[in-house]
Homo-oligomer: A and B are copies of this chain.
Amino acid sequence: MGRTRAASAPGLKDVAAHAGVSVATVSRVINGGPYVTERVRALVAASMDALGYEPHALARSLRTGETRSVGYVVSDIANALFSTIARGIDDALQPQSYTMVLANSRSDPAHELDVIRHLLRRRVDGLVLSLADETSPALRDFLAGLRTPLVLLDREVEGVLADQVLVDHAAGVAAAVAHLRDLGHTRVGLITGEASTRPGREIRRAFEDAHAAAGAPIPGGFVRVGALSEAFGAQAAAALLQMPEPPTALIAGGAQITVGVLRVLRRQGVRVPEELSLVAYDDTDATELFSPSVSVIARDIYAIGQTAAALLLDRLGSGGAQRVARIPTALILRGSIAAWGGSPGPLLT
């Protein structure tokens, strides 16, 4: 007896009845509204937890027009890069009581549009996008016409107005090439992702620029471009090693690619760095624990997510012009690099 609708969760109405006030008053108490007596506030608060009241976020959102949620679209959440970014986003969102809604696109550009639409139907207040492919015209047009605030992570989509977080791949790659050349390497290979996504373009461009600046040619077939996968990394590394005149140093431009490369080097018993110097992408357990430890181009991945969320929250709050945040890269030297030709320098472990 007493409560009539025992089945469903208590609402504002139930709390109001229990406290002997109106729903408006309860609402004011919940939202910290003005003009509420301390006496009434306490009364209502008591009723709320007597009934175990939990505000109905959907109803509130329908009324206010904001969901306090942001969508994160990602090609594969199981990828350490993206899950670390997700952590960064979520950590930055929680203090403002925003929620992250995750949508996995499975690296499929068509599906990508679907999941974005799905998020929009749920009326997320903003979107953070780690796009699988920034060249799809359908996606580009769709995003260009979008009102919802957007943050692009290391992606450039023509005609789309969005905040961006860009990783400075060029600096890391330039440093790596310069270091290897200083050590006497004139035959440096590169394995990286396709041009359909910014990192692939940037890494390749920086690699070529660094050689051009040094007035050094890149031997034919030394740049391998393909999927950001272990399989491609392995295949490309094997192909490179099989060349009549293989590279004496290699840059693996992508974390998954790196794993494939390491697997091949290990399987073929290639001695690193004696036979091949190696610079890989991203400071991970795998690169650190490989023997020898692998020199890497590293960046603060967590910060990418944090920064993205910060940009988005900022825009949701105050609006303003589109902004671009830049994440630096650093070359971390470890045992996988040695001089070529001349006398070897001191070996790191």
Contacts and interface: CB of A to CB of B under 8 A. Distances in A.
Interface of A: 54-59, 61-62, 67, 69, 76-80, 82-84, 86-87, 90-91, 94, 97, 99-104, 106, 117-118, 120-123, 259, 262-263, 266, 284-286, 288-291, 302
A336 to B, nearest CB: 13
Nearest to A101: B101
Contacts of A100: 101-102
B77 A117 contact: no
Contacts of A82: 83
A67 B67 CA distance: 13
User: So how many copies of this chain end up in the complex?
Assistant: 2
A99 B118 contact: yes
15 contacts: A54-B120, A58-B62, A58-B122, A69-B101, A76-B87, A77-B87, A78-B80, A79-B83, A87-B104, A90-B103, A97-B118, A100-B102, A101-B102, A102-B102, A289-B289
Nearest to A88: B78
For the residues of A in contact with B, the DSSP-based class is: helix
B87 A122 contact: no
Contact of A122 (B57, B94, B118): B57
A289 B59 CA distance: 51
The 3 closest A-B pairs by CB, nearest first: A83-B83, A285-B286, A78-B87
B77 A83 contact: yes
Contacts of A266: 289, 291
A77 B67 CA distance: 22
A211 B302 CA distance: 43
A62 B120 CA distance: 17
A78 B67 contact: no
A46 B55 CA distance: 38
A87 B77 CA distance: 6
Contacts of A69: 101, 122
A9 to B, nearest CB: 8
Contacts of A61: 58
A282 to B, nearest CB: 11
Contact of A77 (B90, B263, B288): B90
Given A58-B123, A121-B55, A122-B57, A99 B103 contact: yes
B99 A101 contact: yes
A303 to B, nearest CB: 13
Given A78-B83, A79-B83, A290-B290, 5 more contacts: A57-B123, A58-B58, A58-B61, A102-B102, A289-B290
Contact of A90 (B94, B104, B285): B104
A153 to B, nearest CB: 16
A186 to B, nearest CB: 29
Contacts of A103: 90, 99
Contacts of A97: 118
Contacts of A58: 58, 61-62, 67, 122-123
Contacts of A101: 69, 99-102
